[in-house]
Amino acid sequence: MDALEAIRSRRSVARLVEPAPDEADLRAILEAAACAPDHGKLRPFRFTVVRGEHADTFGAVLEEAYRDRCRDQGIEVLPAKAAKERSKLGRAPLVVVVSAVRPAEDSTIPWTEQLAACAAACQNALLAATALGYGSMWRTGEPCYDDRVKAALALAPEDAVVAFLYLGTVPEGVRPRAGCEPDLDGLVREWRA
Ligand SMILES: Cc1cc2nc3c(=O)[nH]c(=O)nc-3n(C[C@H](O)[C@H](O)[C@H](O)COP(=O)(O)O)c2cc1C
């Protein structure tokens, strides 16, 4: 599959099944991610693979973090939401958490550019997964902004969780939406003095 075909055919699939990318394919996906444009070669991206029984343990972290957020905000814990937090990593057989680590204070490259590099890494990973025949989906949500979840990922509060990339195989009988038919109306201008 060439690059343009991967770009146009990539579609998010909400629930994915085994087989997950095998080790060789996972490596290819993560290498593609690490090829992202990266101002200053700071390599701000980190990739944390979560799968198997460890996804269940991480689900417990997500549920606990949700309960703590409710307590902090003085709001009621919703059992359905708690259960969703616990089970959400089960929506795919493998999840790559992409995070951005904040560099030293004196870095000349703005943090927003490092986040941009991480977003580019995410898209590279999704495209590589598509080219290798896997389904994928980029998700975020409140856990990304929760220091307790960051700590479980060995991140500092000032680091950022940019994506939970869900990877796996599109279930039989599920047909992802048709490829992207981009509408450029109103998006493109040609600058003139
Ligand atoms: C930074 C970012 C965060 C996202 N977070 C979520 C999310 O938490 N839940 C969700 O359903 N979609 C989320 N999306 C959108 C999906 O990944 C997807 O792009 C969207 O559903 C459109 O489908 P498509 O990728 O097939 O075009 C996010 C996208 C981006 C770029």
Q: For a ligand 1 pocket test, name from 7, 8, 10, 12 the mutation site with the most ligand atoms within 8 angstroms of its C-beta.
A: 12
Predicted pLDDT of residue 179 = 79
Contact 46/98 with Cβ under 8 angstroms? Answer: yes
10 Å Cβ neighbour count for 170?
Answer: 17
Structure tokens at 101: 């680590």
C-alpha 117/C-alpha 165 separation (Å) is: 16
Predicted pLDDT of residue 17 = 98
Predicted pLDDT of residue 178 = 84
Predicted pLDDT of residue 104 = 77
CATH code for the structural domain at 3-55+90-168: 3.40.109.10
Mean pLDDT by 10 residues, the chain (193 residues): 93 97 98 97 96 97 98 97 98 98 86 97 98 98 98 97 98 86 93 94
Is pTM beyond 0.85? Reply is yes
Contact 138 CB / ligand 1 (< 6 Å): yes
Predicted pLDDT of residue 81 = 98
Predicted pLDDT of residue 169 = 98
Report the interhelical angle of 23-34 vs 111-131 (nearest 10°).
140
Token pair 């998006």 in the structure block, residue: 187
Contact 96/51 with Cβ under 8 angstroms? Answer: no
Ligand 1 center to residue 172 CA distance, Å? Answer: 22
Predicted pLDDT of residue 103 = 79
